[in-house]
Every structure is written in structure tokens, then in C-alpha cells.
Amino acid sequence: MASAAALLKSSFLPKKSEWGASRQVAAPRPVTVSMVVVRASTYADELVKTAKTVASPGRGILAMDESNATCGKRLASIGLENTEANRQAYRTLLVTAPGLGQYISGAILFEETLYQSAVDGRKIVDILAEQGIVPGIKVDKGLVPLAGSNNESWCQGLDGLAAREAAYYQAGARFAKWRTVVSIPNGPSELAVKEAAWGLARYAAISQVWILFLDWTIGVVNPATMNDMDQPTNNDDEWYGRTTGLCRSWSLRSSWTASTASSGPSRWRRRCGPRPSTPWPRTTSCSRASCSSPPW
């Protein structure tokens, strides 16, 4: 033991005082914040045009994206079978309603409807476009159980989404819808909220590359909250507000993280230095008029 201590004392290691004196501390470098403007995609101008059309005053979005199974329930209520011909007739009735374009700016379609023709042979997307209605498409693939959660779920559909949206664009779609569900009776758990937000964020980042229009304010990117309890509770509004706020906050975080980490054209660039420490979600962006940083 004594020989080991003597060996350490005679070793080449410098003393603590000598090591500290020999260190050179680098002077802090000034941080330069650069202005970088990145277009959302090569179709940015068309994306803006789509946004203005869908958000035109006095008109709303028609959600006619029922799945074939849901459409079958509507047909069964009037004694009809769930056949492709009956679904075609039902959807034709919707898109040919007189004066539809006066009140509707965008129509969310099911995948079958996007490629379907009306009874008279015209494409449904063409009938909508003739009325100044922008065709949209539902792109999520439904819910599956979320492992490790309190009987909660997460939304499928990210796999192959870019390729599907490229095909949807060629078929005439110009915006997309993705809806996930956050159940509030027993939480919701932080895992479920983050999973929902990450899915929304990845969907948003992918869709913007393929020009499909997204709008955070009108609910195209929107978590759906469900209360499956037998009896209503007094704090439903509180849970709804809290859950929706968390989902939107995590979606903004995740979307910024995902887009800046990628090498694709859909990237955001920070322009205002470090992120402020204000609570999430923030309702305003940077106070500088020329700044277009993400709203945090």
C-alpha cells in the first residue's frame, strides 16, 4: 500500500495548483443572430393562395370525410345498403347542393371520394373547384392503443405520408386534415399528450413540404378531446382548455424541433436569439415587426 502511494506521488501527473495555472480560459465570443429567410417549399405561393381561399370571410369547411363504414351507417338509417354506388350518390348529393360555394370554402374528402366521380361522370374534385371550393383530404389512419398509458390511444398514418400526399396533390387535393384524440377522464397522461403533439407536428412538417395547406387557427391541425365518462363533470371545460393548450404547445415545440433538425426545404430559422422563459403557450410572437419567428 505504501509503495503504491509513493508511486503516485512520483508520477507524471501535475499538482492541482499547477494544472489550474496552466489552463487557458477562452474569452466568450459575441453571439451574432443572423436573418435567414427560408421558403416553406417550392409551392409557397400556391400555399398562400390556398390559405387565403380556405380562410375567406363568410365561408367554412365542409367535413365530408366519413369513412366507408361511417358512410354505411348514414345509408343504413334510410334503408340503403353500403355499396360504392350508394356512397357515390350520397356524395354527389353533397357536392351538387345549390349555392354550396357561397358558404363553403374547402371540403375535406375521404380517400375514396378524392378519386371518385359523381353520378354524371364528372370528378368530384372538379365539381368542387368549379364552385371555388378547395378540395382537402384526411390523411390520418385512425387510432390504436398506446402502450404504457392509461387505456389511451395514438394516431397512425405517418408511415408513407409524404408519398401519399404527393399522390393526393396530383389528384387535386390542396390541404390536409389530421385528427388525433386525447381522452380526458383519467388525465390525460403526459405520454399521450406528447405523442399526440408529436404526431401533429410531424404531419405538419411533412404536409408543408408537399404544399398541402395547414392552419393552426381553424382546426385543421387540432387535437380532439373526448369525455367517455357516464356522467358529465364540472371541470370539463377546464380539462378541455388545458389539454388543447398542452397539445398545441407541444405541437409547436415538436414541429420546430423536427423541421430545424431536417435538411429539407421546410425549415424554420430562429431570428430572435434564446427562447424566452415565458410559460407555454405564448399568444404572440416577437415584438419586432420584421420578425417571423415561431410564436414562443
Asked if residue 178 is part of any domain, the answer here is yes
The whole-angstrom separation of Cα 62 and Cα 181 is 20
DSSP assignment of 140-168 equals: ---EEE-TTSSS-EEE---TTHHHHHHHH
Helix (H) or strand (E) holding 104: strand 104-109
Q: Is residue 171 part of a domain?
A: yes
Whose grid coordinates read 378531446? 225
Residues 267 and 121: their CA atoms lie apart, in Å, by 41
How much is the pLDDT for 23?
54
Residues 56 and 125 in one domain: yes
The arithmetic mean of pLDDT across residues 213-224, rounded, is 39
Residue 223: C-alpha distances to residues 85, 86, 154, 190, 254 (Å): 33, 31, 11, 14, 15
Position 193 confidence tier, pLDDT thresholds 50, 70, 90: confident
pLDDT of residue 194: 83
Tell me the mean pLDDT in the region 266-273: 38
Q: What kind and span of H or E run contains 53?
A: helix 44-54
Higher pLDDT, 139 or 243: 139
Q: How confident is the model at residue 45 (pLDDT cuts 50, 70, 90)?
A: confident
Higher local confidence (pLDDT), 32 or 95: 95
Q: Is 16 inside any structural domain?
A: no
Whether residues 165 and 246 share a domain: the answer is yes
181-217 burial code (b ≥16 CB/10 A, e <16): bbbbeebbbebbbbbbbbbbbbbbbbbbbbbbbbbee
Task: Show the domain range for 176.
Answer: 141-263
Q: Which of 93, 123, 138 is the last residue of a domain?
A: 138
The residue-averaged pLDDT of 254-282 equals 43
Q: State the angle between helix axes of 190-209 and 236-261 in degrees (0 to 180), rounded to the nearest 10.
A: 50
- pLDDT for 235: 57
Q: Are residues 186 and 222 in the same domain?
A: yes
Average pLDDT over the chain, rounded to an integer: 72
The answer to the question of residue 258 being in a domain is yes
CB 152 within 8 A of CB 189: yes
> To which H or E segment does residue 62 belong?
strand 60-64
Is the model's pLDDT at 101 over the cut of 60?
yes
Evaluate whether residue 182 is within a structural domain: yes
Residue 50 in domain: yes
Q: Are residues 113 and 126 in the same domain?
A: yes
Lowest mean pLDDT of 174-188, 204-218, 236-250, name the range.
204-218
Same domain as 257, residue 147:
yes
More confident residue, 47 or 295: 47
Pairing of strands 153-155, 143-145: antiparallel
Q: Do 241 and 145 share a structural domain?
A: yes
pLDDT above 50 (res 118): yes
Pick the more confident residue, 147 or 200.
Answer: 147
Rounded to an integer, what distance in angstroms lies between the CA atom of residue 294 and that of residue 276? 12
Residues 182/186/191/196 CA torsion (nearest 10 deg) = 0
Residue 279 lies in a domain: no
Contact 65, 91 (CB under 8 A): no
Kindly list the distances between the CA atom of residue 235 and the CA atoms of 162, 223, 249, in Å, as whole numbers in the listed order.
39, 18, 21
The answer to whether residues 152 and 205 belong to one domain is: yes
Number of domains in the chain: 2
- Do 177 and 89 reside in the same domain of the chain? no
Same domain, 127 and 187: no
* Residue 119 shares a structural domain with residue 150: no
160 & 203 share domain? yes
Q: Rounded distance, CA 176 to CA 199, Å?
A: 14
- Could you write out the DSSP letters of every residue in 229-280? -SS--TTHHHHHHHHHHHHHHHHHHHHHHHHHHS-SS------SSSPP-PPS
Confidence of residue 218 (pLDDT cuts 50, 70, 90): very low
- Which pLDDT belongs to residue 248? 66
In a domain, 274, yes or no: no
Confidence at residue 200, expressed as pLDDT on a 0 to 100 scale: 83
Regarding whether 246 and 169 lie in a shared domain, the answer is yes
